[in-house]
Amino acid sequence: MSAAFSDAGTALHVPAQGIVAAPPVDRRLDVWPQPVFVPESSPAPAWWLVGAHGGAGVSSLCASWLFAGDAMRAFPGAFAGETPFVVIVAREHQHGIDCAHDLITQHLSGFAGETTLVGLVTVAARPGKVPASLRQRLEVVAGLIGDRHWHVPWVEDWLTLRSEELPVWRPGDVLEKRRKQPPASECVPLAVAEIGDQIRSTIVDLLNTN
């Protein structure tokens, strides 16, 4: 994990667990009873992506961030040698935001094992702006975790690319801002790379507060 974290940042406030009401049992995810499977060809994840629902965008994000792992719709058990850091991923529609709220409250109420919740990533469900009603709901949900929320804009190329065809962002990669971004088949979209870097920095901050 040291390869992913090479610098430090400012301290973050981490909400105490057990002060939020848990969602109903049928709206919670399980906690892994053993370490999450990671292919031998993949590096050990520095953080896990927990999809709040099917189609959230976890596969594309895992393929785009070298040190992200797919927790396969369950909270990791934070076993020895396994990173405890998790990021919840949801699509930006009503169902996705509701599911994200359930998982955040599950975590904050102490029903997500020994993991550390880094934040929430929402993935655009369509081109253009998020409707005002959803944006307001998102603000409320993100407020539960200190506004640690990242928005992935619509990536048209992801509709036609398989996960294994996506380029990979690595910590330390130069993030170039160009007037015209290259296609997602050639380069990780700048916004996606920036979010990966911000998640990494947030984890460094969390490590420095503990």
Q: Where are the domains of the chain?
A: 25-32+43-209
Helix axis angle for 94-108 and 132-143, nearest 10°, is 10
Region 11-37: mean pLDDT is: 80
Region 9-26: mean pLDDT is: 64
Q: How far is CA 159 from the centre of its chain?
A: 20
Tell me which DSSP letter residue 139 carries.
Answer: H
Percentage of the chain modeled with pLDDT above 70: 91
Q: Tens of pLDDT along 51-95? A: 999 999 999 999 999 999 999 999 999 999 999 999 999 999 999
Place of tokens 């065809």: 165
Q: Which residue has the higher pLDDT, 8 or 28?
A: 28
Q: CA distances (Å), 135 to each of 57, 65, 122, in order?
A: 19, 26, 11
The pLDDT-based confidence of 11 (bands split at 50, 70, 90) is very low
- Please report the DSSP string for 91-106 in residue order: ESSHHHHHHHHHHHHH
Which phi and psi (to 5°) does residue 119 adopt? 170, -165
pLDDT at 42: 87
What's the pTM value of the predicted model, to 2 decimals? Answer: 0.89
* Cα 156 from Cα 134, distance rounded (Å): 21
Residues whose CB falls within 8 Å of the CB of residue 206, separated by 6 or more in sequence, listed in order: 12, 14, 85, 116, 118
* Cα 132 from Cα 126, distance rounded (Å): 14
The CATH fold of domain 25-32+43-209 = Rossmann fold (3.40.50)
pLDDT at 148: 97
Is the separation of the CB atoms in 151 and 124 below 8 Å? yes
- The helix, strand and coil proportions of the chain, stated in percent and rounded to the nearest 5, come to 30, 15, 55
Residue 145 has pLDDT above 70, yes or no: yes
Q: Tens of pLDDT along 180-207? A: 888 899 999 999 999 999 999 999 999 9
Region 21-32: mean pLDDT is: 96
b (16+ CB within 10 A) / e for 28-37 = bbebbeeebe
Place of tokens 């380069």: 187
The pLDDT-based confidence of 210 (bands split at 50, 70, 90) is low
Strands 149-152 and 68-70: unpaired
Place of tokens 């994990």: 1
Is the separation of the CB atoms in 66 and 104 below 8 Å? no
Least confident of 14-18, 122-126, 170-174, 176-180: 14-18
pLDDT at 5: 40
